[in-house]
Structure 1
Amino acid sequence: MIRQGVDFVKVQDILADTPLENPADDRLGYAPFAKSLAEAICKFNDDEGLVFALFAPWGSGKTTCLNFIQYYIDAEKGEEKPLIVRFNPWWFSGHGDLLNQFFKEFRAALGKNDIFKELLGKLAGFGEIISDIPEPTGIVKYLGKILPVLNQMPEKQAWEIKEEIAKEIRKQDIPILIIIDDIDRLSADEIVTIFRVIKAVANFPKTSYLIAFDKDVVVRALKRVQRVPGDNYLEKIIQVPFDMPLPDKISVRKLFFETLDKVFAGTPEDLFDQTYFGNVFWDGIDHFLKTVRNVKRLTNALKITYPSVVGEVNPIDFLAIETIRVFLPDIYYLIRSNSEMFSGLADRQGNLGPNIEKLKLFHNQWLENLPEAEKEIVKKLILRIFPKLRAVFENTFVSDHNWRKQLRICSPDKFPIYFKFAIPEGQISNAEMKAFLVLAGDKNSFGKLLLDLANQHCLDGRSRASVFLERMEDYTEKEIPKAHIKNIFLALFDVGDHLLLPEDESRGFFSFGNDVRLDRIMFQLLKRYNNQQERYEILSEAFINGSALSTIVREIAVLSQQHGKLGTDADDEKERLVGAQHLEELEQIGLKKIKDAAASGNLINLRNFANLLYRWKDWENDEAPRKWIESELLTTNEGIVDLLVGFLSKSYSQALGDRVSRSNWRLDPKVLEPFIEPSTIIDRARQIFRDSPEWLKGEKRIALETFIKHYDLRAKGKDPNLEMNEASSSY
């Protein structure tokens, strides 16, 4: 599900990797350097030309600097300024016509000045001669044959024309500056060929070159092709080298922040923590913003990806993970594929996921494979957005500080959104959540919403109701208006039984379902009231008017536990949500509802039937549920089986080596003893199983068969619960 109502990025909003041309637009401090270099070039006036070189890394603004130099040269007054020829060999790489294009550019530039008209024809002839090479298939093959061809040509055909060109240039006494850019984008062989051309083919008098490239790239290329140190080779070609000044880091950051403000426009203010942003930025993001091109790469990526998840992710975490995606793609894919290693909490035993030893092995391994210069930066950035890793690198075990509500990437619920750039199907967006909670102003609307969500499902099979109830806990502290709490309770205790869905139950030692989620919501909302009387009044009204008997009875039982009932220790008086008298009155409300359901014949069909019988026994006496069972259920075969189905339960176990958990049906005869003597129905149960009537299907058959099996185990002096555990682990 993609967030609706978000304006996606327009093409014109993307920062093109286009160099600047006017020094007035300079934001990185290149203009003063360019002006000084332009003045030096203009003052140079010698028959022998020079080769100036401008060294700078990729993405640092070499072309912008060249543009500024040309701007200042064009602005010079007087005859000493050179005529400029711009040439970019990368445009023609692989086309087989680089020399032809070079001389076309040369002729076009000289043609702007009338005094060079006689020279144009000679340049055209020279260009045609040296460009007339069979099967031009690319710059390497094309230019690589220039010198051999020139050597084989009759001297009058090429060298005499070149000498005539040289004489004409000397006669006019106008210096020429040929600017060549993007040499470092060529292949190694092409780089070597360009330098050969500069020295051997177009080394005309009064003709200088200004070439710009990443020195490290070119040095490696020259060493690979020439088998000599690249620095030594360059020294023979270049007379005046310059290292372009690095961009002012403050200016680069300023450009980044200005662009980021536009990207994050529309982000809810409560999601942007300035302190957290500062920590994440200085601990990692700033390291990668070395050039303007880096800024453009990152902000352009954000302009594409952020609009689809704005308001559904923490903007700072999204910025951090996008920084990793753009500049460290291998680490990004590692994180994306290993959610349990990065998101959530860490614990020593591994009850909540991989144990600490497994975590340390995993994270130390990938970190070790990073370049030494990157290790500390990446580790700091990862630690900021994934606090779980503090257990690995700092031996500190942190707790969840409302990460889901803050839409943090370290929340397992939010983690997938950061890598899909959209809300996964079936999940509930932050915008939806806020809209849904508005419905709590009306109990009927809120109740209908809960029923609708119970019938909608996520990709993992859970109902959307379970997702909503989990998310609802993030808003119980203060976001839900206190005036809406009563309506929420009226709705929950009216439709709550329809939310007790088996597909929403977790498996394992820490299993829970929507019943537990409802418990937590009730407790959190009730604590918003200052006294027990107010809480009682809200609960009593909701229980009296509600139809969700299983949910009502369960919540009363939870309140009973606070008072030391049902085998639990009593909480301190100040921790109890209701008083002792309040509890007794609520129990009576629950008891009446149970007896009404029994009288109507509906009790046997309710969820948690066995639990309802136990509460009936606790709140009235042992005999009441016994008499009802004897008169209403034990008189028919179907009634006996329905009783057994009500006590049937399922547990899950996972043996060593199992990749998934195994389900086990349980129906220990002892759980029936408070209500009937199991021996009084065993013979009838065996007979029903032997007869196998047509209605004995599904859970009815499972319940009957499990009861007989476990009864026989008890008869042999064995505990069926232990036997089932041993059977599971033996697979």
Structure 2
Amino acid sequence: MDTDVPITKCIDDRLGRVGIARHIADMLIGAPADHSIVFGLSGSWGSGKTSVLNMVGELLSEASDPPVVVRFDPWNYPAGSDLVTPFLTSLASEIRKYNLKSRMKKRAEEALEAIADYVDALKPVTPRGMSSLVNLVQVRLARKKRKEERKTLAELKEQIGNSLLSLHLRVVIMIDDLDRLSNDTVCSIFQLVAAVADFSRVSYLLAYDRSNILRALRAVQQCDGDEYLEKIIQVPLELPEPAVGALSAMLQEGVERVVSHVQLSRSELKRVGLSVNDATSRVRTVRDVRRILNLFEADWRASVEKVAPGDLLSMSVLRIVYPKILPWIRTQAPGLSGGTGGGYLVSDAERCKKQYLEALGELLGDCGTADDALRLLVAVFPRVANACGLHAVSVSEAKLRIDRRIACPEILRNYLSGSMEAYAFPRELAIALLHSGSVDELKAILDEESNDVALTLVAVAGETAADMDEDRRSTFARAIIRSNPGESDGTGLLSLPFYGYESCLEKLFSAMGEGAASELLASEIKGLDFSHLAKMAHFVNGQELAYGRLAGKSEKPSEQLISLACLKRVERSIAQTLCDAQLSVEYLVIEGSRMLLYLWSCFDQRTYAARVTEGLLLDPLAYLLYASYQLGLYHSADETGWAFPVDFGNDISMERVVDSFDGALRSDAFWTLGQSVKLKLAGLRICVERLLEGAVSYSEASASCEQCEKLLDQWTERYAEGRG
């Protein structure tokens, strides 16, 4: 934890304010000697005024002829108490400490006596507990038994000024935190500075928040605070806000200090960086930074380090900037947390965003802050991003769990209840398997796509690929290639694009080097069946693009993970396997089959045309499955469904799609398809019909899951008798 303690030395300055402090110190040293002058340093709470005053004091002490510096703190005295006597006592005490030459001691004693006389004139009875200096001076005065008449206050003030002039002594009096005093005390300080203690060779440096001071003056003096302040402050100075880069560096260093003993993955480090950027854009002072870091550290410890640090930092920013929002998150948790499929309808998103802004505006009392709060929520909760149309995020609940994201419903519940120690991750088991499992053992785990341990294995292997030994990298890469493909409904590894097998395989190959990766891939891909080749299709296409082949417009050497010779061998293996395969409708349901067919069309156009275009796709159901690749799943605030994210493909006829449904629905193969595939085909029918009506655009030609279910029920009822 970092307490809100100001720096005391220039060497500790991290905000580039030494220059400001030096400028102020030079002005104080060069201030007129024949009268008092008041400098006012204005800045918001937490902006670092005290630190600047400390640096000014240090620089003044290093001057060739340093002045006497008096730090007077009105906070040490109860509201309403006399401040004049302790103020003058502090001044006398510092003069007495000053190392004067022996020939000046007599004049110094005269100055002290003059101050004591002034104290006595202003307040005849000195309170008990006064400084020993004042007591000694008063004893001296009692012994002396002055015979001269008592002088007026004006004469006593002049006597003090003359004494300081004769000493060639310059005095700088600093008073901090004026804005934290009561209204009456603020006015008393200004009266003290401007009238009671405006001695020659005495300069004042006052630090305050201008807006608070003005409110105090208006309340007590019943006047224009600006005009009043102008009469008191001869040299107004404004402390500029810290540089954004300096605050960002403090945030970054603070976060790194908190999590220094934990090794974060690249994705976690990236998320922390984004959170630091979000925090930087919302902090104005060092105090803001410290408060956020302190809450972040407290949450990190309380969560038993089981939550993604980037999310915890974003939550800390939310809770510091908008203190009212945490109770609101508790009530809204079911709608905020959870995974999302990545799509949304524009009309629904606009409506949902408006609802969020209205709710947050009512909570926070400002539409501007509501918009900012919403953007912070989006950084933590992907479902909010999708629902409001701010980002099309595709993330499953399993991935949220693996990433330790607060958006995972179970993690959010434990975070809000403060019981993270009861939450267990499958990471430890995954790491043990990764470092000891054989190819077959790892493959068996990976075949269980919905298993948290399997998903975590892929995540951990990708994160630690560079640190694994060569044998472990090779073992896990082979296990990934040999594992079963993901399910067609998107629940398998392919539904986790970042932590999925492709991303992990790329990291493993990158760590292995081109030679070893090429040798392994060439040997493993030979003899793979259609479903396993479909799982590899996206990776192969990525390598084609990296070499500037197929649709690639230019080479990208940094993305080339295998050799060109190996890539050509892979092409031949794919073409040969597909030429020999007995293609059927079932192949078109396999995840990645669309990309695999595309690659085949590039590698062997003649055979592809004969076997697919003029062969397999003549089957009505096969044609519909092929056409359904154009659909994308969307999620809005109220519903989920299917829509065309891009224009309909040139190789698909909408009229033929409609005509194919009757034959497809009469085939037994349609009714053996999985429920999710049948619902998608129902969505295809609805979307295409809406396009043919000509009343909507591609993005608006959507079909909700409810509409798809209703249409599928109608088909079931209509064709039940014929199939029976």
Other-structure match for 1:316: 310
Q: 1:264 aligns with which of 259, 264, 275?
A: 259
Contact 1:169–1:205 (CA<8 Å) still a contact in 2? yes
Give how far 1:65 is off.
Answer: 1.3
Matched, 1:179 2:160: no
Contact 1:59–1:291 (CA<8 Å) still a contact in 2? yes
CA distance change for structure 1 residues 434 and 100 in 2, over 3 Å: closer, same or farther?
Answer: farther
Matched, 1:407 2:404: yes
Give how far 1:234 is off.
Answer: 0.1
**SS, match of residue 312 in structure 1:** coil
Other-structure match for 2:96: 111
Amino acid at match of 2:282: F
Other-structure match for 2:18: 31
| Larger mean Cα displacement after TM superposition, 225-234 or 127-136 | 127-136
Other-structure match for 2:215: 220
**SS, match of residue 416 in structure 1:** helix
Structure 1: segments with no counterpart, 5+ residues = 1-13, 137-155, 443-467, 485-515, 536-568, 577-731
Other-structure match for 2:112: 120
Give how far 1:235 is off.
Answer: 0.8
CA distance change for structure 1 residues 164 and 125 in 2, over 3 Å: closer, same or farther?
Answer: closer
Contact 2:79–2:185 (CA<8 Å) still a contact in 1? no
> Aligned equivalents of 2:298 and 2:350: distance in 1?
37
Larger radius of gyration: 1
Other-structure match for 2:383: 388
**SS, match of residue 44 in structure 1:** coil
Write the deviation string for residues 372-399 of structure 1: whole angstroms up to 9, x where unpaired.
5534433322222212123443276643
Q: Give the alignment of 1:676-687 within 5 angstroms.
A: none
Amino acid at match of 1:248: A
**SS, match of residue 401 in structure 2:** coil
Contact 1:84–1:178 (CA<8 Å) still a contact in 2? yes
**SS, match of residue 53 in structure 1:** strand
Give how far 1:131 is off.
Answer: 5.3
Contact 1:253–1:289 (CA<8 Å) still a contact in 2? no
Contact 1:47–1:205 (CA<8 Å) still a contact in 2? yes
Q: 1:374 aligns with which of 330, 347, 369?
A: 369
Give how far 1:109 is off.
Answer: 0.9
Q: 2:184 aligns with which of 189, 211, 215?
A: 189
> Aligned equivalents of 1:58 and 1:225: distance in 2?
22
Give how far 1:218 is off.
Answer: 1.0
Contact 2:361–2:369 (CA<8 Å) still a contact in 1? no
Amino acid at match of 1:267: V
Contact 1:52–1:242 (CA<8 Å) still a contact in 2? yes
Other-structure match for 1:164: 156
Q: What percentage of residue pairs aligned between the two structures are identical?
A: 25
Other-structure match for 1:74: 61
| Larger mean Cα displacement after TM superposition, 326-335 or 56-65 | 326-335
Other-structure match for 1:100: 85
Amino acid at match of 2:231: K
CA distance change for structure 1 residues 129 and 347 in 2, over 3 Å: closer, same or farther?
Answer: farther
TM-score (norm 1): 0.53
> Aligned equivalents of 1:269 and 1:316: distance in 2?
10
> Aligned equivalents of 1:411 and 1:308: distance in 2?
18
Give how far 1:275 is off.
Answer: 4.0
Write the deviation string for residues 245-301 of structure 1: whole angstroms up to 9, x where unpaired.
33232222222222222112133322644444444443x211223222222222222
Contact 2:378–2:385 (CA<8 Å) still a contact in 1? yes
Give how far 1:20 is off.
Answer: 2.2
CA distance change for structure 1 residues 573 and 53 in 2, over 3 Å: closer, same or farther?
Answer: closer
Q: 1:428 aligns with which of 424, 429, 435?
A: 424
Give how far 1:421 is off.
Answer: 5.0
Aligned length, in residue pairs: 454
Amino acid at match of 2:87: F
> Aligned equivalents of 1:361 and 1:376: distance in 2?
11
| Larger mean Cα displacement after TM superposition, 244-253 or 57-66 | 244-253
CA distance change for structure 1 residues 131 and 121 in 2, over 3 Å: closer, same or farther?
Answer: same
| Larger mean Cα displacement after TM superposition, 268-277 or 165-174 | 268-277
CA distance change for structure 1 residues 75 and 295 in 2, over 3 Å: closer, same or farther?
Answer: same
Other-structure match for 1:472: 453
Other-structure match for 2:136: none
> Aligned equivalents of 1:163 and 1:430: distance in 2?
84
> Aligned equivalents of 2:195 and 2:589: distance in 1?
95
**SS, match of residue 208 in structure 1:** strand
Contact 1:263–1:303 (CA<8 Å) still a contact in 2? yes
Give how far 1:54 is off.
Answer: 0.9
Contact 1:63–1:181 (CA<8 Å) still a contact in 2? yes
CA distance change for structure 1 residues 237 and 479 in 2, over 3 Å: closer, same or farther?
Answer: closer
> Aligned equivalents of 2:150 and 2:229: distance in 1?
27
Write the deviation string for residues 331-387 of structure 1: whole angstroms up to 9, x where unpaired.
233223321132124699x9xxx9997785355321464535534433322222212
Q: 1:343 aligns with which of 337, 354, 362?
A: 337
CA distance change for structure 1 residues 39 and 359 in 2, over 3 Å: closer, same or farther?
Answer: closer
> Aligned equivalents of 1:264 and 1:99: distance in 2?
50
Other-structure match for 2:74: 89
Write the deviation string for residues 221-242 of structure 1: whole angstroms up to 9, x where unpaired.
2223322221111011111111
> Aligned equivalents of 2:127 and 2:68: distance in 1?
34
Contact 2:406–2:415 (CA<8 Å) still a contact in 1? yes
Amino acid at match of 2:204: Y
Amino acid at match of 2:453: M
Contact 1:324–1:331 (CA<8 Å) still a contact in 2? yes
> Aligned equivalents of 2:156 and 2:460: distance in 1?
86
Give how far 1:304 is off.
Answer: 2.8
Amino acid at match of 1:382: L
CA distance change for structure 1 residues 166 and 431 in 2, over 3 Å: closer, same or farther?
Answer: farther
Give how far 1:318 is off.
Answer: 0.9
Q: Give the alignment of 1:138-537 within 5 angstroms.
A: 160=152, 163-173=155-165, 174-270=169-265, 272-282=267-277, 284-309=278-303, 311-345=305-339, 361-367=355-361, 369-394=364-389, 398-401=393-396, 402-420=399-417, 422-423=419-420, 425=422, 427-429=423-425, 434=430, 471-472=452-453, 474-475=455-456, 477=458
Contact 1:52–1:241 (CA<8 Å) still a contact in 2? yes
Amino acid at match of 2:287: R
> Aligned equivalents of 1:20 and 1:362: distance in 2?
42
Give how far 1:31 is off.
Answer: 1.4
Q: Give the alignment of 1:520-669 within 5 angstroms.
A: 571-572=586-587
Contact 2:179–2:212 (CA<8 Å) still a contact in 1? yes
Note the aligned Cα RMSD (angstroms): 4.8
Contact 2:9–2:58 (CA<8 Å) still a contact in 1? yes
Other-structure match for 1:599: none
> Aligned equivalents of 1:286 and 1:332: distance in 2?
20
Contact 2:43–2:238 (CA<8 Å) still a contact in 1? yes
Other-structure match for 2:6: 19
Give how far 1:406 is off.
Answer: 0.9
Give how far 1:214 is off.
Answer: 1.1
Amino acid at match of 1:63: T
**SS, match of residue 53 in structure 2:** helix
Matched, 1:65 2:59: no
Contact 1:388–1:397 (CA<8 Å) still a contact in 2? no
Contact 2:38–2:203 (CA<8 Å) still a contact in 1? yes
**SS, match of residue 415 in structure 1:** helix
Contact 2:69–2:174 (CA<8 Å) still a contact in 1? yes
CA distance change for structure 1 residues 360 and 72 in 2, over 3 Å: closer, same or farther?
Answer: closer
Q: Runs in 1 of length 4+ with deviation above 6 angstroms?
A: 132-136, 156-159, 354-359, 435-442, 480-484, 528-533
Other-structure match for 2:37: 50
Other-structure match for 1:7: none
CA distance change for structure 1 residues 437 and 100 in 2, over 3 Å: closer, same or farther?
Answer: farther
> Aligned equivalents of 2:357 and 2:371: distance in 1?
13
> Aligned equivalents of 1:342 and 1:471: distance in 2?
22
**SS, match of residue 242 in structure 1:** strand
Contact 1:122–1:161 (CA<8 Å) still a contact in 2? no
